[in-house]
Structures are given as C-alpha cells and as structure tokens.
Chain A
Amino acid sequence: MKVTFPHMGYMYVSLKGMLEYLGIDVVVPPACSKKTLTLGVKHSPEFACLPLKLNIGNFIEAKELGADTIMMAGGCGPCRFGYYAYVENEILKDLKVDYNLVVMEPPEKHIGELLGRIRKITGNRPWLQIIKALRFGFLKAKAVDEVEVLSFQIRPRELVRGSTDRALQKAINLIDEAKTTTELTIALERAKELMRVVPAERERPALRVALIGEIYTLLEPYANVNIERHLGQLGVEVDRSMMLSQWVNDHLFMGLVRNIPSSDRFKKVAAPYLNHFVGGHGLETVGSAVWYARQGYDGAIQVLPFTCMPEIVAQSILPKVSAEVDMPIMTLIMDEHSGEAGLITRLEAFIDLLKRKKEQKEALTS
C-alpha cells in the first residue's frame, strides 16, 4: 500500500510524519503547479471550487509516482467538502486512475466507525502506536506553524530580498526530515535558528494585514498565488487567521490541546453581522474581521475560491463590517485564471490605501 493525500500548503509535512511514524509508505504528490492545475481543470466540473480541481491534479500526479490509496477527510455538510472525496473518486474512475479511497468521515453513530476507517490505513498496528503517531503528526504541524509565523514577521523586514523564503524552505525541510520526537525537538530549534539569522531590520515598523477566509486558499500558496510572500516583500507583516495546528486542534482534537488559539475567538464576535454558522469557515471569516480590527490591524484581505458558498455569504457581509469597525477589507477570489501580476497590482493599491489611512490617523492623533 502506498498512501497519498491532497496538498494543502505544508500539511504534507504533518501527514507524512504521522504515516511514516507507523511505517506506512507515503507518496507525497508533487507540489501544486501549473501542470497540477491544468490536469485538474481539464477533468473537473467547471463550477467546482478550486481545491477540488487541484486535488484531482494531485491525485493524477501521485498515481504516476505509484500511489494506490487516497486518504482524505470527510464531512457532513453543508459545504461541498463533505462530498469532495466521492465526486473525485467518480472522476478518477472514469479516467481509469485506480485508487483505493479511504475517507475519514466523522462518525455518525459511534466512534467505532471512525476507528474502523483508520484501521484501513493502519492495519493491525496497536492503538497506542497510532495515538503516538497522531501526536507526532500534530507536533510537526505545530513546528511548521511556528516557523511560518516567524517568516510573517521577518519577511517585511528582510535586508536581502528572498532570504526569508530560502530560510523558511530549509527550516521546513529540517522539520520534515525528523523521524522521532527527539529529532523533531532538535530540528525545530535549528529551524528557528535559521529564521533568526536572516539579516533583517527587526525594529522597522510595518503595516499589519490579516489574511482571512477559506482555509484551503489561505494555506496553499499555489492557490493564493503566494500572497504572503508578495505582501511581505511589499513591507507588510501578515497574520493568518487559520494555522494548520489550530485547525487540527479545533476539528480533530475537539480543542483539547491547550495553548493553541482557537477559532472560537472569531465565532464569538461574528454577531450581529452574521448570526448563524453557514458551513465551511464563513462564520469565522466574518468574526475574524471584527477580531483583527479590535487588535488594531491596518487591514484585512479575504481570500476565497470562486463559487465558495460559505465565503460568498461572508463576502456579502464584510463591507458592512469594514465600515463599522473602520478597517479596510479587500476580497480576492481565486480561480484557475488568477495571475501573479494582477495580484501584485491589486495588493499595491490596497497597501497604498492602508498607508494613507494610517498617516491620516497618526496626523490626527499626534
């Protein structure tokens, strides 16, 4: 058995870590690229959301590398993700790209259903070992998040353009290579050290912009046309409303792990603008705009895939939020036609606006 899974940013580090910890063969699909997207677009329904298209591309490419089993998450609606795996499976079937599909559905009746599905991947390995592997995967996710957050702060202040990205890639690779918990602890220290030595003007003030919206387009740089890098290089410090370890903790561990910020902080402040959950992270998106404004951020950017249902609800509510909390919010819709040049132009215009606004404010208060 050779297990693969769809890409979503650096999620592969965590999943691969977990599976390999159990001695399971893993095929990480090639990083999302033009080729992935082209394959996906060609074989997916036109109005499917972008993540589905890229998933299809990932699976076709992973098949070429010998993968035979897909491991994916499920869901019970109301957003499309809960049916992703099955539509993708039908598409692959017609393409004669054969896979075993194992979907980790949230249990409907009792936890045994989920455990049974896990067994399909893990075979007879003892539960204790599986739990240790889960923990190891989670620690990797946390480690990756830690260095990513460092990169948000360093990139706008780097002295040599591109040095943060080079260090980040090295840091991620170190974490990826760690095989045991002890190795991971050492790798994380070295990774952080790599980030720390990036030459930068640490004290330089920077605009602060929050990235909010749909999780896939937030986490997968190919889907958001490297928005973090561009903002950073334009001198902006970003924060992302959604980090992998936070998502895992909220959704898989029921928030059991302490010291990890929870998306509850967003949900609590979404009303009165949005008064009900709407699937996906629509409620969190509206709430995060309010939350970041209260934290004094200069602006927020909502990213979402074209036709994403929960985020369209959020998008239609954000203008009102923006006006009332007095923080500019821009919406970027990602699809197969999104290009880097267009993105940079729009980001530059938005940042100009934020700068002017900040200057005005400072002039008024000084």
Chain B
Amino acid sequence: MPIRVGIPRALLYYYYFPLWKEFLERLGAEVVVSDRTTKGILTSGVEHCVDEACLPIKLAFGHVKNLVDKGVDVIFLPRIVSVAQREYICPKFLGFPDMVKQNIPGLPRVLDTTINVRKKQQDIHLFTREVGALFNHGAIKSRLAYLLSMPTHFQYISLLEQGYLPEEAMGILKGKKIKENPVATDLKVAVIGHPYNIYDPFISMNLINRLRKFGAEVITADNLTEQMVNEGVKRLPKKLFWTMSRRMTGGALNLHDRNAVDGIIHVAAFACGPDSMTGELIERYIRRDGKVPFMNINLDEHTGEAGVVTRLEAFLDMLRWRKKAV
C-alpha cells in the first residue's frame, strides 16, 4: 500500500501543487488533495484557529482538518521559510506547522520539513533529502525525483505566463481542454492579490469568474514573467522581502506602467500584514499618477457577496464609460 500523503488546497498549493505532486508520486506516494473550499471547511478552520489570524490561515486550518477527516497517512505541510534568495514568505508561513500541531487534534504524521533557499537555491536538496527519507529513499534518489519533476513545474509556470490561471493550467497538464470564455470581452482588468485569495472561488466570492461573465478579461501577477514583475518593483526604495507581495506589487505597477489594463482590483485579506503595507504602496503609486482606476476589496469571513457584486459592476461600468470618453 502506498503512503497516502495529503496536500491542503490552500496557501502555496496554487504555485507548487504540480511540482509537489509529481515529486511525491515519484517517491512512491499516493497524493490526496483536500476538497474544494466550502462553508464547512472554512467554519472548521475558524473553530481551530485563533480569532486574530488572517482569513487564509484560518482557511488553511480548515483544509488540514479536511485531510485529517479523509484519513491520510501523512500531511504535507513543509515549513516554507523562503522560496527565493534574500526573500521570505510571511511570518505565519514560518510558524504554520507549529500552529497546526498545537491546535488540531488527531493529526497523523506531519511532514514539516523546511524549505529555505534564502541563502542559495541549492539548499533545496536539504528538503528533498528529508522528504525522501520518509519513503526510505536515499539523498541521491530523492534529489533525482525532484529534478525529474522540475520540467512539470516549468511547464506549469509557462502556462501561467501564457495567461492561464492555476486551475486551468493544472487542467492542461492533465490533458484537459480549456473552454473559451463564452462572453465577448471589451475590458482588461488586473486582479492583484495573494494566490490563495484570488484563485479560491469560495473565498474570493468567485471574483474572477464574475469579472469574466461581466465581459472583462482577467490578468493576474502570475501571468507576468519574473522580469516584468521586477521591472514593476524597480521604483521601490528598497527590495520587498516578501516573495508574493513583491510579485503582486511588481505585477500591478508593471501593468499600470505599460497601460496594459483598464483597471486594477486589489484583493486584500482581513488582517493580512503584508497586504496592509503593499496594498497601501500600490494604491498610493497608482492614485498619484491617476491614469488607471483602482479598487480595493477586503475579504473576510463575513464579507457580503451582494455588496461586492454591486461594487464590481459599478467599477466595470466606470471603466467602460472612461474608455468611451477618451
């Protein structure tokens, strides 16, 4: 019987799932993903997590709980310290495995090996070795499994850069055909936010699909190349040390500078630390120039869907009206 390894459909799932899945399968695991977010999953997350945590962490708790209920043998919760040189993810990612272990009862074994390439990219082999050990593979074989999985990761990233969103890109990797958006689009809108906020239809109140239905083409920071992102953040007085926030900020500013979009929607999570800083920077830079309309949406457990829909419609109307006026 292969070891059943559960991966929560939360946090960095949206960047690394194809890579992690293949890597684990090459090591001989059977990979199980938690269900799509539902009210129930969020509620169970909220129950197990401190009130003050941000929405995405609460949701991730819910997904871990979902995996516990599915009876997986191992939960894959790497401690993601850094995925890029001289950068971090948010402090909460650093402590997440411990937060989970001290709060969710009945956990199976947790794989909380550290991923930290802050100093150098090659440090990833520390991670592959430790994960491989769980499956009784030596360092070299584990490393090889990882290297052999990299092409999938690159393919996935290149699909994102071609304009597909994570869900679609993962579909294509599995050989699925992607349906064209049946609605004709006359606007292009950037949606800027943490991947686990904007790509989770439940948490984002289906924001991206709604925009598409309203006739807007959606682009996110993940559809841009690393180079474009870095163009965007060039003007900052100091390097942004959060990988995802750097991508979001750079993406927004690059799209803005190139006049590549008709409007920018920033999606922030309730009580998110980095969002409170970069959201503020993005908004101030964009408003000062005054050439691309900007809207901010705050997500929390209680955000009313109706209110957001009304605001979205009004925003798109305004973009259309502006387009006609010039």
Which one of A60-68, A72-80, A256-264, A344-352 is at the B interface?
A72-80
Chain B residues with a Cβ under 8 A of chain A: 49-50, 52-54, 79, 81, 86-92, 94-99, 102-103, 114, 236-238, 240-242, 268, 270-277, 279-281, 284-285, 288
Show 17 A/B contacts (Cβ-Cβ < 8 Å), sorted by A. A45-B280, A74-B238, A77-B88, A77-B241, A83-B238, A87-B277, A87-B280, A105-B238, A274-B95, A277-B94, A278-B95, A282-B91, A307-B272, A310-B95, A313-B92, A316-B99, A319-B102
Interface centre among A103, A316, A317 (most CB of B within 10 A): A316
The 7 closest A-B pairs by CB, nearest first: A313-B95, A77-B241, A78-B88, A47-B276, A279-B91, A309-B91, A278-B95
Residue of B nearest to A320 (CB): B102
Whether A359 is near chain B, meaning CB under 8 Å from some CB there, is no
| Shortest beta-carbon distance from B113 to chain A in Å | 11
Find A316's partner among B49, B89, B274, B275 (CB 8 Å cutoff).
B49
Q: Is the CB of A273 within 8 A of B102?
A: yes
Residue of A nearest to B61 (CB): A316
Q: Is the CB of B277 within 8 A of A78?
A: no
- Inter-chain CB contacts under 8 Å: number: 128
Q: In the complex, which residues of chain A have a beta carbon less than 8 angstroms from the beta carbon of B288?
A: 94
Find A79's partner among B81, B91, B96, B272 (CB 8 Å cutoff).
B91
| Shortest beta-carbon distance from B54 to chain A in Å | 8
Find A47's partner among B103, B236, B271 (CB 8 Å cutoff).
B271
Q: Is the CB of B102 within 8 A of A317?
A: yes
Residue of A nearest to B280 (CB): A45
Q: Is the CB of B98 within 8 A of A312?
A: no
Contact with B along A313-336 (1 / 0, CB 8 A): 111110110000000000001000
Complex CA distance for A90 and B249, rounded to whole angstroms: 15
Q: In the complex, which residues of chain A have a beta carbon less than 8 angstroms from the beta carbon of B285?
A: 90
Find A310's partner among B50, B91, B98, B279 (CB 8 Å cutoff).
B91
Q: Is the CB of B277 within 8 A of A275?
A: no
Residue of A nearest to B288 (CB): A94
| Shortest beta-carbon distance from A124 to chain B in Å | 25
Complex CA distance for A316 and B279, rounded to whole angstroms: 26
Residue of B nearest to A82 (CB): B241
Q: Is the CB of A276 within 8 A of B236?
A: no
CB-CB contacts below 8 Å: A26-58 with B: 45-49
Complex CA distance for A276 and B103, rounded to whole angstroms: 17
Q: In the complex, which residues of chain B have a beta carbon less than 8 angstroms from the beta carbon of A307?
A: 52, 54, 271-273, 276
| Shortest beta-carbon distance from A168 to chain B in Å | 32
Find A313's partner among B87, B98, B241 (CB 8 Å cutoff).
B98
Find A78's partner among B49, B50, B241 (CB 8 Å cutoff).
B241
Q: In the complex, which residues of chain B have a beta carbon less than 8 angstroms from the beta carbon of A46?
A: 276
Q: In the complex, which residues of chain B have a beta carbon less than 8 angstroms from the beta carbon of A74?
A: 238
Q: In the complex, which residues of chain B have a beta carbon less than 8 angstroms from the beta carbon of A94?
A: 284, 288
Q: In the complex, which residues of chain A have a beta carbon less than 8 angstroms from the beta carbon of B95?
A: 274, 276, 278, 282, 310, 313-314, 317
A48-B280, A90-B281, A309-B90 known; A275-B53 Cβ under 8 A:
no
Find A48's partner among B96, B99, B241, B276 (CB 8 Å cutoff).
B276
A47-B271, A90-B281, A316-B103 known; A280-B276 Cβ under 8 A:
no
CB-CB contacts below 8 Å: A235-288 with B: 273-280, 282
Q: Is the CB of B102 within 8 A of A306?
A: no
CB-CB contacts below 8 Å: A118-168 with B: none
Q: In the complex, which residues of chain B have a beta carbon less than 8 angstroms from the beta carbon of A45?
A: 276-277, 279-280
Residue of B nearest to A271 (CB): B98
Interface centre among B52, B98, B237 (most CB of A within 10 A): B98
| Shortest beta-carbon distance from A90 to chain B in Å | 5
Whether A91 is near chain B, meaning CB under 8 Å from some CB there, is yes
Complex CA distance for A111 and B280, rounded to whole angstroms: 31
Q: In the complex, which residues of chain A have a beta carbon less than 8 angstroms from the beta carbon of B268?
A: 47
Further contacts, 10 of them, CB under 8 A, given A87-B277, A313-B92: A86-B281, A87-B280, A87-B281, A90-B281, A91-B280, A273-B102, A276-B94, A277-B94, A312-B52, A316-B50
Q: In the complex, which residues of chain B have a beta carbon less than 8 angstroms from the beta carbon of A275?
A: 79, 97-98
Q: Is the CB of B53 within 8 A of A86?
A: no
Q: In the complex, which residues of chain A have a beta carbon less than 8 angstroms from the beta carbon of B274?
A: 80
| Shortest beta-carbon distance from B278 to chain A in Å | 8
CB-CB contacts below 8 Å: A82-129 with B: 82-83, 86-87, 89-91, 94, 103, 105, 108
Q: Is the CB of B92 within 8 A of A312?
A: yes
Q: In the complex, which residues of chain A have a beta carbon less than 8 angstroms from the beta carbon of B54?
A: 307
Q: In the complex, which residues of chain A have a beta carbon less than 8 angstroms from the beta carbon of B87?
A: 77
A76-B241, A309-B92, A320-B102 known; A276-B280 Cβ under 8 A:
no
Q: Is the CB of B272 within 8 A of A280?
A: no
Interface centre among A47, A90, A274 (most CB of B within 10 A): A47
Q: In the complex, which residues of chain A have a beta carbon less than 8 angstroms from the beta carbon of B89?
A: 78
| Shortest beta-carbon distance from A313 to chain B in Å | 3
